[in-house]
Amino acid sequence: MGQHVTVSRAAHLLGVSRHDLQRMIRSGELQTFEGDVDLDELRQHYPTMSLDENPMVERVKLIRAAAFGRRVSETVMPDTDELNVKLHKRDVALGVAQAQLKKYRSCLDGLAQLMAELNQQATAEQKEMIGVLNRWLAEKLKS
């Protein structure tokens, strides 16, 4: 099936009365689909009519194509402004996370240096405690 138009629109396009089309529908000569008639079927009954050249049919085709394209772009393609805002927020969050990581890495490096210095001057018992802390810290950094 092709393009559908209302019975009134079909009558206007063909230059016949709506009553004539209704009579054809009641007699079974012309089929309807949800109250509309198929232009291809109308061409069979009115072969001399050039519906393709009618400006109303062309306008209906253009409106339908534009509406479909707009619906597709609204449902499939997200808003670019919204995407830009989300991207900017993610960039800011990434920058904050990278700054925190740098700070934590600096703290851990400082802690490792301090423990190494303490280990040089520590007693045997303190060296054992420093070793336990070093192993714990190394294990936590691996996981």
pLDDT in tens, 85-125: 999 999 999 999 999 999 999 998 899 899 999 999 999 99
The confidence score (pLDDT) of residue 56 equals: 66
Q: Picking from 11-15, 71-75, 130-134, which range would have the lowest pLDDT averaged per residue?
A: 71-75
Which residues pair with residue 37 across a beta bridge? 5, 32
Distance, CA of 133 to CA of 56 (rounded, Å): 84
The confidence score (pLDDT) of residue 127 equals: 92
Same domain flag for 16 and 70: yes
Angle between helices 18-27 and 7-14 (to 10 degrees): 120
The answer, yes or no, to whether residue 25 has pLDDT greater than 60, is yes
Which one of 38, 55, 76 terminates a domain? 76
Q: How far is CA 12 from CA 20, 46, 48, 52, 132, in A?
A: 12, 13, 15, 14, 93
Same domain flag for 14 and 61: yes
Question: pLDDT grade, residue 53 (50/70/90)?
Answer: low
Provide the domain limits for residue 126: 80-142
- Name residue 139's amino acid: E
Report the number of distinct structural domains present in the chain.
2
Which one of 45, 76, 107 terminates a domain? 76
Contact by Cβ (8 Å): 44, 6: no
∠ CA 100-103-108, nearest 5°, is: 125
Distance, CA of 51 to CA of 3 (rounded, Å): 11
The confidence score (pLDDT) of residue 50 equals: 61
Same domain flag for 89 and 52: no
- Nearest CA to 108 out of 82, 78, 136, 132 is that of 136
Identify the H or E element spanning 54.
Answer: none
Q: What is the DSSP letter of 41?
A: H
